[in-house]
Amino acid sequence: MTAHWGVPDPALAEGTPEQIERAFRDTFMMLDRRIGLFLCLPLASLDKLAIQKEINRIGKEMLTESAKRDTPLH
């Protein structure tokens, strides 16, 4: 089972120090949310296919949220 939850690289962020700090904070929050959602899955009661489906859903959900933001990460 694998997951690739790509996130924008905050090290590539440009702008004011506040904008760069926000890029790092946004990336942290995105990863923190994904990991939290994963840890809440009832892994003992799901088969491998269902777990993989949930992992993929978590990644897609976060991409949708990222696209809805007003400010790009970099």
Q: Write a three-state SS string for the chain.
A: CCCCCCCCCHHHCCCCHHHHHHHHHHHHHHHHHHHHHHHCCCHHHCCHHHHHHHHHHHHHHHHHHHHHCCCCCC
**Among the ranges 10-14, 47-51, 69-73, which has the highest mean pLDDT value?**
10-14
**Residue pLDDT, tens place only, 2-38:** 778 888 999 999 999 999 999 999 999 999 999 999 8
pLDDT of 73 strictly over 60: no
Q: Which tokens in the block code for residue 74?
A: 């970099």
Using pLDDT thresholds of 50, 70 and 90, give the confidence band for residue 69.
Answer: low
Q: How far is CA 38 from CA 41, 43, 72, in A?
A: 5, 9, 25
What's the predicted TM-score (pTM) here?
0.69
pLDDT of 67 strictly over 60: no
